[in-house]
Chain A
Amino acid sequence: MMARIQSLIFYAAAMALLLLAYHVATSFAFAIVDEGYRYMEPALQARETLLLDTRRSTITELKTDDLIAYRTIYRSKPMRMFGRVAALPGMTISVRKERLIVEGADVAPAGKDLDVLRTGLMVPRETVFVVFDSPLGQRVSLPQRLVPYRNIIGRMAGK
């Protein structure tokens, strides 16, 4: 009897471990920052390994200041980029005196490419607006900064 119970417990545990492993494998991923990607220095360094939370619920519940990895086409090439969420869907972003203003709060410096935001812009549905920690990131254009949920790979866990 005990042996049967032990056997059942063993198989149940094995099944549970398999399911857990599957869940972890589909919910998280590792990403390595590309060599030469400097838009997020000093927060992210080149060739740094990051753990990404790729769950759909995480992506739809992003908060400002979250660091994300996303797919984009940059200079006609598919590319993976990393950025910091500055505004969520429905928020209004604008630029005043070369500073990015989100819902009235000054959040980051703004480059010349964002001058069109003088009179304000609403972040579209299921899209986030990202900024970059490094001044090099200021050259990224407006459409490149509006990242739809479907292009987001995941949120950086632990950052």
Chain B
Amino acid sequence: MTTAQYRCIVFGQITAICVSGLVAAFVLLGAWPEFSSRGHLSQAIEHFESGGERGPSQAETALDNALADNSRMIPALALRGLIALQKGEAGRARDAYQNLQQALADAGASEAPALNGIGCTVLLEARTSGTKKQAQLEEAYKQFVDATKLGPENGDAHVNAAICSLHLGHLTRAASHLANARDTQNLAYESLVAYHSALGSLLSRAATDRSTAAAVAARFKDPDPRLEKTGQMLVRSTAEFDKAIALLESDPYLADLWMNVAMARARLLALAPMTKKAAADYRNIISDAVARHEKHFPLDQRQLALVVVALSYSKDGEAALASGVLRQAVRLGKRSGKIDFCIGAAFFHVAQSVSSTSQQLQLEREGGGHHLAALADPALPHPMRFRALSDLGVGQWRAGHHADAIEHMAGAGAILTKLEGTADSPSKSERAIFYRNLAVMRYQDGKVAAAAEAANESLAIDAAQEDLKKLFVQANRAAVITDIQTMTTMKQPPSMPIVTAVIRGGGIAPPTKDEISVAVDGDPVTFTIGPDSQIYALPRKPLAEGKHTVTITVSVPGGAPVRQSTEIIIDYKTFKAGRKEKDES
């Protein structure tokens, strides 16, 4: 090789290297912001996911750096919005998502994630607003629906639309959105948690009413055909809450979920038939949740949950534990009228299951105290007011304060009259029990006719009360008169026969002497009541031979008079022949 050739080769190599270096520098510098921003974004994600108190702040700092290099970085804008939502900063979240919307539009991509984020921001604002809440919920719902139209394959917006619908009270609409979310098979982790939480809330609310449960089940189209049954729906709601709790592990919203699942379990414990073991498990879960998450459970929810646990103990025959739990509910703190009513009613319910009279009276006294406190609340609904007065009446009667009892029962009766036939009318069993108690009180007070009237009302509602029927018959005391005949003895002249009859009253109390009258030919005669409900009547004056009419009348209070008449024949010749035969024998 000559020197010139060698020089050409070297020159070419050096040129190639320099050109390559320049190209590399150009590429690097041009792509550097992108690489840098990606690096900052990775840092931001790492800080955000590490959690803790400083995590979000450190993530925001990294995001600031990332957006400084690339202000249109879509993942960075989305993460900024998410962090702002978690911190509750609606203004920053709105800015981030509006920038995201612009960036997506510039990139020609679907704006669905941005609309979803703006909807979440409006939802956040709705939580803290007062009068504008309804309008903001509607606006948030509109954003989510628009997002679902732009990105139907993304389930996150459907979940958020379902949450909005739940807040607005549109259960079937929420069910449709949750079904659509499920069918996309495309949910982010956070949306999956929200999905199960929303589904739990939906099923829990729908389970209060059969027609609503059926409508929601039809819209949700779950593979389980039993879901339309309210009991099954409530059980499923607890399963959905459990899933959301399992997915969250530790999160500020976990306490809300614990509360929701505990209250759903409380409803199941109150309403669903279950084995003793299952009931014991539920009681433990509820009591645990109430104790562990005390700070996150509103006071009235804790008190209600304990009332349900107490009633469950009572149902299983554990009256002492039941009353202990009720007293624990009382010690939790100040109670509203409704809570006082529930506690009072629970004490009365537990009192029915104790055999000791003194314990029963004690429990009824405690229950009565709570009922009086409830009645002092002017906002107490009428059905509760009726029940409280009714219970108080029973308690006071048993304690011997009859006048107070009658007063309470009269108050309850007045409310019942107003409520009957309306949507607030107490249940059949409550009304039947009220009239029954009233009938017993009146009967014991000697007001038999009034007792019969109340007993009639109770039996008209529930005809299966055999013991009340007995009382009813006793109160009516319809008499039956049989076997009216005359009896002659040697000691009595034939003109004054002894008239006998059997008089029986309905029930266990036969008619008294004052309630019976015997007349011969219209003239009253004296009589005595002997054994086996037999009466013996003697005419006041001798009767002539021939036909005479004996009339026996029984007039008992609470019933129509019963009258029986029969003809007797006075025959002197037959009497004399009989006497002669006897003397000869």
Contact = CB atoms under 8 A, between A and B. Distances in A.
Interface of A: 3-4, 7, 11, 73, 89-91, 113, 116-119, 121-122, 124-125, 127, 141-143, 146, 148, 150
A116 B188 CA distance: 19
B32 to A, nearest CB: 18
B287 interface: no
8 contacts: A11-B13, A11-B16, A116-B243, A116-B245, A121-B192, A121-B196, A124-B188, A125-B187
B189 A124 contact: yes
Contacts of A113: 246
Given A3-B9, A91-B185, 13 more contacts: A7-B13, A90-B186, A116-B245, A118-B239, A119-B239, A122-B185, A124-B188, A124-B192, A125-B187, A141-B249, A142-B246, A143-B248, A150-B45
A142 B189 CA distance: 12
Contacts of A122: 182, 185, 187, 192
Contacts of B242: 116
A121 B193 CA distance: 10
Given A141-B246, A143-B246, A124 B187 contact: yes
A107 B294 CA distance: 41
Interface in B43-65: 45, 50
Contacts of A150: 45
Given A11-B16, A143-B246, A143-B249, A119 B240 contact: yes
A7 B243 contact: no
A151 to B, nearest CB: 8
A125 B236 contact: no
A136 to B, nearest CB: 20
Q: Is the interface of B mostly helix, strand, loop or mixed?
A: helix
Interface residues of B, number: 27
Contacts of B50: 73
A91 B387 CA distance: 52
Nearest to B244: A116
Q: Which of A89, A90, A119 has the most CB of B within 10 A?
A: A119
B270 interface: no
Contacts of B224: 119
B63 to A, nearest CB: 16
Given A7-B9, A7-B13, A121 B243 contact: yes
B123 to A, nearest CB: 21
A53 B229 CA distance: 51
Nearest to B185: A90
B247 interface: yes
B555 interface: no
A113 B246 CA distance: 9
A7 B6 CA distance: 12
Contact of B186 (A73, A125, A141): A125
Contacts of A116: 239, 242-243, 245-246
B189 A148 contact: yes
Interface in B207-240: 224, 236, 239-240
Contacts of A142: 246-247
A148 B45 CA distance: 12
B246 A146 contact: no
Contact of B9 (A4, A89, A119): A4
B109 interface: no
